[in-house]
Structure 1
C-alpha cells in the first residue's frame, strides 16, 4: 500500500536506496573545534546528524511568483559506510523537486565545511529519476551513439537547474545543446547554484517555448532531438507536465516538423492527480491517464511509447521511424566503462 506523502520531503523522491533528510533548524555543533578533521565512523555519524541533514542554500522567487528553495542534502546508500555518502543539491518548489546536481566532497571533512561552497559534480545521475530515463532514451534514436564523441543537435525546453543539459554537456562535449527557459530567475539559479556552463556547444535562451518552436519552424531549423520538461500549475490542467500549451495540435506539429526522420521527441509526464494516489488501485488508474499523451502525440508521430521513470513520473517518447535496437543504450554501463576518462563520473544506483 502507498501512503499519503505530499506533505513529506521524504516522499518527494521516494528514495529506496538512500536516507534523505531535510531539516532547516539551527543545529548544535558536535565539536568545539570546527576545523578538527573528521576521520572516524562515529565522527562522520555525528557530522551527519548535526550539519549535513539539510542545508537551505538559497530561497528564490521565480518570475511568476512561485517560491523555490535550493537545498543541499545527504544521500546515504543503505548498508554502506557513512564514508560513502553523496551530497546532492536540489531545487524544491510546491512539494516537488525541479532539479538536482552532485556536490564534490572535500578530501578532508570538517564541521567548518559549508556545502554551498563545494564544487559541482555535473556527472552525478540518480538512476531512479525521470532525468535518467530521458537521457537513456535519447540513444534510441539512430542519430545518437553511446560514445564520448557523440554529437548531434539537441533542443531542451524547460531548463530548471539544467540537470539534463549539464550532464549531456559534460559527458558528451561534442553535442550541440540549446536550452529554452521562460523564467529568468530559473536561469540565474541554474548558473549560480547548479554549475550551468554556456559555451560554443551549449547556450540558454530566455523565451517562451511555444513561440520558440514556431519561430524555429519559420527559420527552417531542425534538431536531432527535442526534450520537453516544461510544466505548469497543478490546478491549471490535467497534466502538470507537459504544460497544456504544448499539447495543442499546431505546437505538436511544429515539434514534429523540427525533427528529421531519425529524430526523437522525449517528454517528461506528471499528472495533476498524483496527490490522490494512496493505494495500488489508485496507482493503476493513475498509470492509465498517461495513455492520453500517447494518443495526442501519435497525431503527429508514427511511433509513440511511454516508460515508467519513477513512482509518479513517466516519460513519453516519439519517433518518425521505428527505433532500431542497439547494443549500447545503457547509460549506467557506459559510464562505468569510461569512468577513467570522464572525471567524476558516477551513477547513484537504485538498489538496496
Structure 2
C-alpha cells in the first residue's frame, strides 16, 4: 500500500504526515500507552474474500479497540472508517455506524456511489450531519477541490454530484 500511495497518489511524508506499515490495532494500542495524540485516524481494512461486511474487518468493530481509537484522538479529532458491503447487504453498514456511535458523539455516513460508504465520527458534540449540514457540506467541497478528488463533480462542466451526504 505504501508503494501504491507514493506512486499513484504522490503521497509524500512530512513531519505532520507519515506512513506507518504495521498492524493497525497494535499501532493504536501502543500510541495509547505512549500518550500519543492524533487529529484523524483513517480505518481502511478489508477482507480479501466475499463477506456481507467486507470492510472494516471484525477486529475494528470491537468496543475496546474503538475506545482505544477515541483515546488517541485530539478533543476535536475524528475517525473515518471505509465501509464495503456486498450489494444485497448494504444494511451491514448500519452495524458499523451503531458500534462506533457508542464511542463518538457525532457520526454520519458519506455515500460514494450506490454501495460504498465512509463513516465519519467526531469527538466533538453537535458535529453530526443533522446538527451541521451546511458547514460539513462546505468543508467537504473545499477539501474535495483542494485535493482535486472531484467527488462532488465539476460545477463548470455541469456534472452531477457523485457524493450524497447524510
TM-score, structure 2 as length reference: 0.74
Structure 2 match to 1:315: 118
Q: Where do 1:167-316 residues align within 5 Å?
A: 186-235=1-50, 237-271=51-85, 273-274=86-87, 277=88, 286-316=89-119
What secondary structure is seen at the aligned counterpart in 1 of 2:37? coil
Query: Pairwise CA RMSD of aligned residues?
Result: 2.8
Following superposition, the deviation at residue 248 of structure 1 comes to 1.4
Report how many residues are paired. 148
Structure 1 segments (4+ residues) deviating >4 Å: none
Distance 1:216 1:346, change over 3 A: closer
**1:46-93 CA distance string (max 9 Å, x none):** xxxxxxxxxxxxxxxxxxxxxxxxxxxxxxxxxxxxxxxxxxxxxxxx
Report the Cα distance in structure 1 between the residues aligned to 2:15 and 2:119, rounded to whole angstroms: 30
What secondary structure is seen at the aligned counterpart in 2 of 1:292? helix
Following superposition, the deviation at residue 347 of structure 1 comes to 2.8
Report the Cα distance in structure 1 between the residues aligned to 2:77 and 2:101, rounded to whole angstroms: 15
Following superposition, the deviation at residue 332 of structure 1 comes to 5.3
Report the Cα distance in structure 2 between the residues aligned to 1:202 and 1:310, rounded to whole angstroms: 28
Q: Where do 1:63-102 residues align within 5 Å?
A: none
**1:296-316 CA distance string (max 9 Å, x none):** 112222232223221111111
Structure 1 match to 2:141: 331
Distance 1:243 1:334, change over 3 A: closer
What secondary structure is seen at the aligned counterpart in 2 of 1:196? coil
Q: Which has the larger radius of gyration?
A: 1
Report the Cα distance in structure 2 between the residues aligned to 1:225 and 1:333, rounded to whole angstroms: 15
Distance 1:187 1:330, change over 3 A: closer
TM-score, structure 1 as length reference: 0.37
Structure 1 contact 332–347 (Cα < 8 Å) conserved: no
Report the Cα distance in structure 2 between the residues aligned to 1:334 and 1:245, rounded to whole angstroms: 30
Report the Cα distance in structure 1 between the residues aligned to 2:41 and 2:144, rounded to whole angstroms: 22
Structure 1 contact 267–315 (Cα < 8 Å) conserved: yes
Report the Cα distance in structure 1 between the residues aligned to 2:65 and 2:34, rounded to whole angstroms: 15
Following superposition, the deviation at residue 255 of structure 1 comes to 0.8
Unaligned runs of 5+ in 2: 161-166
What secondary structure is seen at the aligned counterpart in 1 of 2:79? strand
Following superposition, the deviation at residue 288 of structure 1 comes to 2.5
What secondary structure is seen at the aligned counterpart in 2 of 1:322? coil
Structure 2 contact 53–93 (Cα < 8 Å) conserved: no
Structure 2 contact 52–92 (Cα < 8 Å) conserved: no
More helix by share: 2
Following superposition, the deviation at residue 229 of structure 1 comes to 1.4
